[in-house]
Amino acid sequence: MSLKCYYHPKIDAETKCEDCGKYLCLECKQVLIEVHGVSDRRYSTRRELCPICYCDRQIRKYSKTPKISLVLWCLFLIPFIAIASSFFFIPGGPMGFIPILFIAFPVIITIWLIYGVVHKYPRKIAQLSKEREAFINSLSGSHEELRSINRFCTECGKKLHPNDSICSRCGQAIE
């Protein structure tokens, strides 16, 4: 007797989710490639996940990554602008096009990071949450327990408890 897919009980399983251990058919399998390391020491890992674990991992990734980058960048930016402005804008110092570029470049990067944190990443989290819910809704009625576990806030990405009606982090009403 062969193992059957957790989500499609009539189809034979081809693989197993590396996070939750559920058996999956080829239709359910999601491949997540994560890149680790820096510079010449980069490597990637390939994970075969069920659609729910795939969306959960992506939501966690988009929930924390840009905020950490923005904080670190701002910690660098404030002293950088102070030093740059004192060097280039002293009376009788070298004035011209280079000082403007020297300060404009970090400011543009800061605006780009803020755009990611405020606009892009919350939209990506909401999209992943909708994909996750669409997958759960496409299943037959026998998977009712999936609807109540592993829910995430569409605004900030915080993992919710099954009974939550309001996100404890951002105050967003939960459907």
3-state secondary structure of 171: coil
Between 8 and 80, the higher pLDDT residue: 8
pLDDT band at 16 (very low <50, low <70, confident <90, very high): very high
Identity of the highest mean pLDDT range in 15-24, 65-74, 81-90, 100-109: 15-24
Percent of the chain with pLDDT over 70: 69
Q: Is the pLDDT confidence value at 5 over 80?
A: yes
Summarised one tens digit per residue, pLDDT across range 43-98 is 888 999 988 888 888 888 877 766 667 777 777 777 776 666 666 555 555 555 45
Whole-angstrom distance, CA of residue 171 vs CA of residue 15: 39
d(CA 100, CA 118): 26
Please tell me the distance from the alpha carbon of residue 5 to that of residue 61, in angstroms, as a whole number.
27
Q: How many CB atoms lie within 10 A of CB 132?
A: 22
The pLDDT value given to residue 94: 53
At 98 the pLDDT is 55
Instruction: Give the pLDDT band of residue 143 (cuts 50, 70, 90).
Output: low
Verdict on whether the full-model pTM lies above 0.75: no
Packing angle between helix 51-88 and helix 97-115, nearest 10 degrees?
Answer: 160
Give the integer Cα–Cα distance in Å for 34 and 106: 28
Break the chain into its structural domains and give their ranges.
1-49, 57-175
pLDDT of residue 101: 62
Task: Find the helix packing angle between 51-88 and 121-138, rounded to 10°.
Answer: 180
Q: How far is CA 59 from the centre of its chain?
A: 4
The Cα 167–Cα 136 span in angstroms is: 21
Q: Note whether 170 and 156 are within 8 A (CB).
A: yes
